[in-house]
Amino acid sequence: MNSSQPFAASARLAWRETLIPYVRLIAHPFLGLVLGVILVVALFPIVTNSPTLREEIFLVLMAVILASSVNIIMGYTGYVSFGNIVFFGLGGYVAFFMMLTFHVHLAVAVLAGGIFAALFATLLGIPVLRLRGAYFALATIGINEAVRAFVNNFDPFGGSVGMNFDYSFYDAYGGAKNALWLAYYAIVLVALATVAASFIIKQSKFGLGLMGIREDQDAAQVLGIQPARYKVIAYAISALFPAMAGAVFFFKNGIIEPGPAFSLTASIEGLVAVMLGGFGTVAGPIVGAVVYDRLRSFLLTSGAFSELHVAVAGVLLLLIVLFVPAGLVGELRRRVPWLRKYTE
């Protein structure tokens, strides 16, 4: 009894020691600034009651979620996950299935989709994260293709036909109009959570461990970091948020099919956004995603470029990779040292 009490006390202390830095991080001005900016932008369509703006910002936020998530495993940990979109699709499928079959609310389905994908990533990560470099990148592509092939043949998920909601499905949410607004609020919340998680990980001891693994896994291990555990946790987190975004996106679309759910192109676009903005930083993927998405949208709807938008985007990205390899935020940090404090 006597001996267990000090142990309990020290355990409590250890917990507090672990938690307090995270609590402090939440109050960090940089995080407040980034979340504040996202919130203000997100409020625009609500204040102006503009569905067009809402749809545009929905896509931007979705790009931010995908890029920031892949940055956790790629930018912080150094594991290039080419097929990270697999979690977007899986989360979408699990959530869609639950909403269609069990009529659960969107919020429940989003959480369920996220948790399922995180668990899937945990189980998958244990063997796959043993691979390094190009082998891991190739494996993630393989996983995406394998899951797509599985879903294509999995009848409860509708097989190759996929699943779709009846239009009347949205009546439970007060009609399609309200449902689309609800989807927007949901994506805003997921985006805020993603960015907060990205920042907290970067600033925490855990994040330092991940970066240690990125620089030299063997050296990190010598210093007492458990690479296997760290990597699996990072992988699970990078799966959680895309899955939630997928759940919201397909709810809004009313239809889910294997092709759009596990699109490798979308996966690579996420990587491009990370490279464009600056990998390994918190702000980089956000800036990259915003720039990339806005650029694409601008080129798509502009008269002069509408036929050439893919080519124009391709040339710009090539130039970026050639001349600004650290990405926009990385370059800014390199050139303007005093800005480093404000651009994590």
Which positions touch another protein (CB under 8 A)?
44, 50-56, 58-59, 149, 152-153, 159-162, 164-168, 170, 175-177, 180, 252-255, 257, 259-260, 263, 266, 290-291, 294-295, 297-298, 300-304, 306-307, 309-310, 316, 319-320, 322-324, 328, 331
Nearest to another protein of 65, 328 (CB atom): 328
Instruction: Kindly state the smallest distance separating residue 258's Cβ from another protein, in Å.
Output: 9
Alpha helices in the chain (DSSP H): 4-26, 29-48, 51-71, 85-101, 106-128, 133-152, 175-203, 205-222, 227-253, 258-261, 264-277, 283-301, 309-323, 327-335
Give backbone dihedrals phi and psi of 14, rounded to 5 degrees, phi first: -60, -40
Q: Which is nearer to another protein, 122 or 297 (CB)?
A: 297
For another protein, the closer CB: 20 or 308:
308
Of residues 142 and 254, the one with the C-beta less far from another protein:
254
Distance of alpha carbon 65 from the chain centroid: 4
What is the smallest separation between the CB atom of 172 and another protein, expressed in angstroms? Answer: 14
Nearest to another protein of 2, 168 (CB atom): 168
Pick the closest to residue 35 from 183, 184, 190 (CA basis): 190
- Rounded to the nearest whole angstrom, what is the least distance from the CB of residue 51 to another protein in the complex? 5
The string of DSSP codes covering 31-79 is HHHHHHHHHHHHHHHHHHT-HHHHHHHHHHHHHHHHHHHHHIIIIIT--
Task: Give least dist CB 255 to another protein, A.
Answer: 4
Q: How far is the CB of 299 from another protein (least distance, A)?
A: 9
